[in-house]
């Protein structure tokens, strides 16, 4: 009888952090499917969407700053902004610090569009959280707090 035949097959479970990572990946996929129609009906290109997200985060920016942060050429950003202005998502205005410069920012329509997309997801998460018992909510809050502290 061979020595290896006497040994039981041992399977090693992934470590805890890998299990949590897999759970987060699943959660992110599920969240991304919420209000999918609202996202799919947004009639803009990926490059335009990236500019919208950048302006949402920064509030306002010059063309060169947008280009540098998104890794695209200034002339491409100008064209993207032209189309976003035409669609009513973005406006251009004088830079308060230097009137020779122009900054772009989201219009109320641009703000509302992005808020609507993300608020639908937040509402879906809230709906599910209200179904959890207090003990689980407290554990989730503690875990998320620890994760956020690492950011």
Across the range 125-143, mean pLDDT stands at 95
Q: What is the pTM of this model?
A: 0.71
Residues 12-44 have pLDDT tens digits of: 556 888 999 999 999 999 888 887 888 888 899
Residues 46-83 have pLDDT tens digits of: 999 999 999 999 999 999 999 999 999 999 999 999 99
Domain extents in the chain: 34-121
The C-alpha atoms of residue 149 and residue 81 are separated, in whole angstroms, by: 36
Domain at 34-121, CATH class = mainly alpha
Q: How far from the centroid of its chain's Cα atoms is residue 116's Cα? A: 13
């Amino acid at each position: 009888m061979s020595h290896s035949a006497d040994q039981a097959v041992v399977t090693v479970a992934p470590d805890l952090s890998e299990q949590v990572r897999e759970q987060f990946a699943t959660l992110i996929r599920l969240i991304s499917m919420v209000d999918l129609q609202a996202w799919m009906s947004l009639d803009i290109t990926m490059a335009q969407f990236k500019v919208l997200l950048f302006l949402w985060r920064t509030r306002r920016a010059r063309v060169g700053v947008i280009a540098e942060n998104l890794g695209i050429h200034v002339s491409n950003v100008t064209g993207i902004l032209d189309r976003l202005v035409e669609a009513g998502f973005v406006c251009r205005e004088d830079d308060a610090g230097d009137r020779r410069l122009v900054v772009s920012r989201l219009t109320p329509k641009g703000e509302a569009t992005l808020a609507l997309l993300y608020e639908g997801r937040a509402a879906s998460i809230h709906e599910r959280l209200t179904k959890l018992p207090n003990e689980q909510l407290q554990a989730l809050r503690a875990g998320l707090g620890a994760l956020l502290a690492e950011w």
